[in-house]
Structure 1
Amino acid sequence: MLLPQHHHHREPPRRGGRRPLRGGVAGLASSLAGCLLLGLVATAAMLCLSSPPSRARQHGGSRGIVPAGGSGATPRVTIFSAPRPPPEGSPARQELAARSWLALPWNVSVVLLGAGPESVALAARLGHRVTADAAIDFAFTGTPFFHSMVARAQAAADTDVCVLVDAEIVLLPEIVNALDRFSKVDGDWFLVSLSRNVTDPRYQLADSGSHWVQADGKEVSFTELQEIPAEWSSSEGSDRGLIMAWNNPSSALHAGVLPSFLYGRGAQNWWLAHEVLSSEMRLFFDASSLVLGLYPESISAMQHVMASSKNGRLPSVSWEYGVNHHLAAVYGSYCCRSPARRFPMLHRVVKQSEDYMLSKVDTLVSSDFFISKQGNAHGVDSLRKKQNVSLSGYLHGCSSETSAPDLPYSLSMLLDLVADENGSVVLGVAGKSYRDMLMSWACRLRRLRVTNFLVCALDHETYEFSILQGLPVFRDPLSPTNVSFDDCHFGTKCFQQVTKVKSRIVLEILRLGYNVLLSDVDVYWFGNPMPLLYSLGLATFGAQSDEYNETGPINLPRRLNSGFYFARSDNATIIAMEMIVKHAASSGLSEQPSFYDVLCGENGTNRIGEDRCLEPNTNLTVVFLDRDLFPNGAYKGLWEKRDVRATCKELGCFIIHNNWINKRRKKVHRQMVSGLWDYDPTSRQCLQEWSAQNDGAIPFV
């Protein structure tokens, strides 16, 4: 069964339909007794949350006391964060923050999300309660995807409360006191709090990480920590100061789809908070009046600093901020102003003595600042003058007149960024009809740690889609514009036009000095074949054989498959590719016959033995790759085997081509039911071992 297509549209805000509070009574003698008892439980819960005690009435509004801890066990809390490499992140500040988390009164766990050495090294220094998890999605710049981070937290089976926080925010003990109290609330809830912005962190954690000290070594009380001079402002461009926590991670946070925001590039935290509030599926606690965390001044200034790329060769990733503003504008109701909207789940949290008081907030106050479509923040200074700290002043409208930004990189810049140490790249070419298969292909390469790939988009829809999915993509301006969605398979006129784009782009990249492994996106990778293909040597062209007979020559006429081949950037290969492109341009067929006729001669006159050809004008050797290692879609009936992966593993396959089958839908279906699929189009995420969509049908090896 095919996964449903993920449509690009704005989800309407969910109204009503509040999730029923959890809890029940077992062993009821009768349905009547059950109804009476459940009614008493519901009444008690309402009194606990909304009945205002006499000391709270003087402040006005509907208030209640959050239930006290009692004798129950403390909740299991896991803190999720994604450390950033220098210069965007400070290793010293990130380690200070992580040590503050471990110094909290409870035995909290910490998960550092990221594949970078900074996460692994930090986890190793901090001990067994800290783990590094690289199983999330990243853009080609190295920026993690926010929706993948949230999904990873939601998949945590060994925690009661998830906390998502910036890697440089120092958490104070007040947060565990609040979480302990809110964990007794019978129902799903979501808590947010604005951290305080500090310019002079005067205290440090002791070496043991168990307490704070001054410069002279004198121990500092937690009360003194909360009195550090700080400002509470934050802005749309840098929403990293927002602390988010929620219980029952197996329950949905909101009604819509979380877009593919790039983490730390603005808008994502505010968007999620707004959608949780609008969906009315969880009680929403605005705890911004509590001092739960501190963050350095440098974070709030980051909105004006565009981070360097992962290897410093590209000047800016400012386009990533544009991606987030575009997604915030077209998904959900975040950018739709509705001043009269009431929010029945919203409660402001205020601490009085040792009690946490809930104040009902039905409507949001007027916007304190407005983010234009250019991403400029307005009115920040006025925010700092306010005395009442509340999330309501931050949830605001924004311009919906936005479009996804273009990548500011030329083809040569992308090649310089992604090429491996041998100057080789993997090229995929796709149009809108194959974009889900493109992403499954890209997800598989990411899982194999193959990062030297890039994508040529045949149309604007695929180009924009690839940008939003974090792929290194460029657009071919000469691609055909009438590409059929379902009928662009082998033998069609559409197929003939599209394939000729591939050889032309490969030639362009070869001329720029890079080796190219052209891989159709319907090629599934079991391992990285690049070292083997590179070892073929200069003036050698390695290509897949399309021969289906298990015995006999594999270099017979028209049996060279132009959907998987490795071409070196040397004179012989470049001249041969020029001949192929010229031959294909004047042919009424696809490019595939041109490859064979040019390299092996018409009717195979240039064949050598059973698996090679020699092009006489350039002395370019053509090697037809071993079909056990590089099988086509008809070889040995592999696609019909009960366990395709296990069978291919026995053969030692590097890849298997999903060809020799007509129609896109049949091709996608065959790959999915075989378990060789790595992408969920409904969430626009790569499937991981922890993915809810991965029910065991897709083994990860």
Structure 2
Amino acid sequence: MLLPSHHRRAPPRRGGRQPRGGEGSGVADLSSRLAGFLFLLALVAAALCLSSSSSRACSGRRHEEGGSRETLPGGSGATPRVTIFAAPRPPPEGSPARQELAVRSWLALPGNVSVVLLGVHASWLVTAGRLGRRVTVDAAIDSAFMGTPFFHSIVARAQAAPDSDICVLVDAEIILLPEIFDALAHFSKVDRDWFLVAMSRNITEFHYQLADNGSHWVRADGKNVSFKKLQEIPADKWASESSDRGLIMAWNSPSSPLHAGVLPSFLYGRGAHNWWLTHEVLSSEMRLVFDASSLVLGLYPESFSSMHDVSSSKNDRLPAGSWEYNVNRHLAAIYGSYCYRLPRRHSTVLHKVVKQSEEYTFSKADELTLSDFIISKEEKAHGGGSLWRNENSCLSGHLHSSDLPYSLSMLLELAADKNRSVVLGVAGVSYRDMLMTWACRLRYLRVTNFIVCALDHETYEFSVLQGLPVFRDPLSPKNVSFDDCHFGTKCFQQVTKVKSRIVLEILKLGYNVLLSDVDVYWFDNPMPFLYSLGPATFGAQSDEYNDTGPINLPRRLNSGFYFARSDNATVTVMQMIVKHATNSGLSEQPSFYDVMCGENGTNRISDDKCLEANTNLTVVFLNRDLFPNGAYKGLWEKHDVQSTCKELGCFILHNNWINGRKKKLQRQMSSGLWDYDPSSRLCLQDWSDRGSFRQMGHFYPFEDSDR
């Protein structure tokens, strides 16, 4: 399949009319004899060609069996559609000058090339607009709360590319040379799924820039520079801790899987993920793997000459010992076989690619040659050695190093909006998938001022690996039931009392709090509306299910969705609620109503308000068309829940008034109000298959798992 095709040339065609009689007959006879002689020569030549072709084919088969070098298929064919994906890093970690030069080098490649920049930074939209229609910006990828994109989301976005034959994933500051498109054009004719990996050249100085039209490179004095000259720039070896950034990866058949298993939630640009993926693709043996590191496909300039405005340096970048790097090492150590020394065996899919006389040839190999371009710390100290997997990623200490270095007060400072307001979600292990669909929805709405309180260590660690701004409550109950912690249970009573206590703690730190249970689906961001209620006002959802009549009747305040301001009146009332709930054998919810509206509603001042007598705190029961509970107007039973709620103008819809975790999950999935894929641990995007989750809601048994 990978051998070159050999075609026999057809014999010369005989044609034309024969002259008749007279003087022309001798000429015709001579012509006829000459034609016959030429025909015999053609037959001999064809026989020799056939023999030679057969010999080469047999020789090719022997080469394939023996692992010798072969020529990659050439010939005619449609130009492949190549899409280059990159996630630029904002300053000061990334350099806009380096990134724009890199993207311009991609656009200068021959052939059908387009570029997709992944992320939400405003400067990338400006860059894309300046560089033309072939550059687009896609913000629909998952990112951690510090803004770092997730590698598995980037790969999933590339796999979903609808109009691409080949995907290229590369660091946003790597300059690509035309050699890469030439190589990819040759590989595009291989009729099997393949994966190409190459190490870019790490160069210290880069004194060149693209001409205005992007057609060629020039020196500082304006003189042209050949591509061969660029390929000959002296390169340094990559340091092992940063080598992951230098890998160039490309693959065909974007919709086909790259490897067996699940791609963990690596933080992009924080080490280990490119090496891990390459190892898993190779060990899965689902694709041919081409090691093209002998080719100079890209350059990574660590610094520019004075003609460039460099806004960052290596010293500005996140240190390799930071917690984000530790998260990636942790994931690399526990997922796949990257950190396990498997028995050495002959690879059936790995091939080394070289270029000879303008032809690309390959030979079977047992190991990748990427480590030839890397120097480890041990080599620096002792000299010698080789590196395939980064042993630092496989140290057992990283198995327990996925804690965030942030206290609650630090998270509040990072997350709060300009009004010092935060959204608080509280969840335990039984509701972590619902926690994630809640968080994914907030991310989709660009609500970034949320934090999560984890009720147990499992939820805390899960949230860290999912990029959530999470903290652990050390006083949470230890015996939280997985399936029996819904309304009315003893477990529910214990867990809800955690929420009011945490809210009070945040209020005392000077932040306003919107407490939202994770079973509340958000259609729009309600924070501006709630903030507009004004000071000394407490806004809470009504749990009244009757369509008409007062909505603030006794025990009809829902403590799963409310907005509390950090003022003296609210802090005083919350202290009273926490104390009342502590001494109650019920959940915290009755305590909210009894403290603020009085037992039996003695503090009601209208059909939707109460006035707490000691502090004059006004309690507003929120309009149910805007903030409906799970029993209001039978919204959850509507054929199209989303359209119905949008017609009402809903900000949110609470998935309450239903017993049991499984029924709650089933109702939310089948309604289409689900934004998370537990199998891939990805938020559902516009390019995701959402329909399958609606079907899962109808048929999924919701069995417990160890994910």
TM-score bracket for the superposition, by shorter chain length: 0.7 to 0.9
Change in 2 beyond 3 A, CA 1:250/1:89: same
Change in 2 beyond 3 A, CA 1:482/1:385: closer
Change in 2 beyond 3 A, CA 1:536/1:317: farther
Residue deviations 1:597-647 (CA, integer Å, cap 9, x gap) = 000000101011100000000000000000000000000110011110011
Other-structure match for 1:330:
334
Change in 2 beyond 3 A, CA 1:427/1:49: farther
Which secondary structure does the structure 2 equivalent of 1:167 belong to? coil
Residue deviations 1:636-660 (CA, integer Å, cap 9, x gap) = 1100111100110111100000000
Which secondary structure does the structure 2 equivalent of 1:487 belong to? coil
Cα drift, residue 318 of structure 1: 1.3
Change in 2 beyond 3 A, CA 1:641/1:260: same
Cα drift, residue 106 of structure 1: 1.6
Number of positions where the alignment pairs a residue of Structure 1 with one of Structure 2 = 634
Other-structure match for 1:205:
210
Residue 559 in structure 1 maps to residue 556 in structure 2: yes
Other-structure match for 1:614:
611
Q: 2:236 aligns with which of 222, 231, 243?
A: 231
Cα drift, residue 246 of structure 1: 0.2
Cα drift, residue 326 of structure 1: 0.2
Residue 674 in structure 1 maps to residue 679 in structure 2: no
Other-structure match for 2:538:
541
Which secondary structure does the structure 2 equivalent of 1:290 belong to? coil
2:238–2:374 contact (8 Å) kept in structure 1: no
Other-structure match for 1:394:
388
2:523–2:652 contact (8 Å) kept in structure 1: yes
Q: 2:346 aligns with which of 334, 342, 349?
A: 342
Other-structure match for 2:45:
none
Q: 1:170 aligns with which of 172, 175, 189?
A: 175
Q: 1:656 aligns with which of 634, 653, 657?
A: 653
2:205–2:303 contact (8 Å) kept in structure 1: no
Change in 2 beyond 3 A, CA 1:499/1:676: same
Which whole-Å CA distance do the structure 1 matches of 2:321 and 2:609 have between them? Answer: 46
Change in 2 beyond 3 A, CA 1:228/1:242: same
Residue deviations 1:138-159 (CA, integer Å, cap 9, x gap) = 0000000000000000000100
Other-structure match for 1:196:
201
Which whole-Å CA distance do the structure 1 matches of 2:572 and 2:284 have between them? Answer: 60
Partner amino acid, structure 2, of 1:474: F
Higher helix share: 2
Change in 2 beyond 3 A, CA 1:577/1:307: farther
Partner amino acid, structure 2, of 1:516: V
Change in 2 beyond 3 A, CA 1:49/1:461: farther
Q: 1:138 aligns with which of 121, 131, 143?
A: 143
Partner amino acid, structure 2, of 1:577: M
Other-structure match for 1:38:
none
Which whole-Å CA distance do the structure 1 matches of 2:686 and 2:108 have between them? Answer: 31
Other-structure match for 1:79:
84
Other-structure match for 1:643:
640
Which whole-Å CA distance do the structure 2 matches of 1:513 and 1:592 have between them? Answer: 24
Cα drift, residue 47 of structure 1: 6.2
Change in 2 beyond 3 A, CA 1:281/1:236: farther
Other-structure match for 2:160:
155
Partner amino acid, structure 1, of 2:181: V
Which secondary structure does the structure 2 equivalent of 1:137 belong to? coil
Identity of aligned residues (%): 75
Change in 2 beyond 3 A, CA 1:100/1:580: same
Cα drift, residue 305 of structure 1: 5.4
Residue deviations 1:94-122 (CA, integer Å, cap 9, x gap) = 00100000111123100000011132121
Which whole-Å CA distance do the structure 2 matches of 1:636 and 1:404 have between them? Answer: 48
Residue 580 in structure 1 maps to residue 580 in structure 2: no
Which secondary structure does the structure 2 equivalent of 1:550 belong to? coil
2:374–2:387 contact (8 Å) kept in structure 1: no
Which secondary structure does the structure 2 equivalent of 1:143 belong to? coil
Which whole-Å CA distance do the structure 1 matches of 2:84 and 2:535 have between them? Answer: 51
2:237–2:373 contact (8 Å) kept in structure 1: no
Alignment of 1:295-310 (within 5 A): 295-297=300-302, 307=317
Change in 2 beyond 3 A, CA 1:307/1:132: same
Other-structure match for 2:699:
none
1:49–1:65 contact (8 Å) kept in structure 2: no
Q: What is the TM-score with the length of structure 2 in the denominator?
A: 0.86
Structure 1 gaps of 5+ residues are: 1-19, 22-42, 309-314, 372-376, 387-391
Partner amino acid, structure 2, of 1:325: R
Partner amino acid, structure 2, of 1:337: R
Which whole-Å CA distance do the structure 1 matches of 2:121 and 2:285 have between them? Answer: 37
Change in 2 beyond 3 A, CA 1:367/1:163: closer
Residue 290 in structure 1 maps to residue 290 in structure 2: no
Which whole-Å CA distance do the structure 2 matches of 1:446 and 1:47 have between them? Answer: 57
Bigger relative contact order (CA 8 A; separation at least 6): 1
Q: What is the TM-score with the length of structure 1 in the denominator?
A: 0.86
2:198–2:370 contact (8 Å) kept in structure 1: no
Cα drift, residue 353 of structure 1: 1.3
Which whole-Å CA distance do the structure 2 matches of 1:182 and 1:462 have between them? Answer: 45
Other-structure match for 2:71:
65
Residue 601 in structure 1 maps to residue 598 in structure 2: yes
Residue deviations 1:211-255 (CA, integer Å, cap 9, x gap) = 101111111111111111112434244411000000000100000
Larger radius of gyration: 2
Other-structure match for 1:216:
221
Which whole-Å CA distance do the structure 2 matches of 1:289 and 1:383 have between them? Answer: 26
Which whole-Å CA distance do the structure 2 matches of 1:358 and 1:48 have between them? Answer: 18
Partner amino acid, structure 1, of 2:365: V
2:422–2:512 contact (8 Å) kept in structure 1: yes
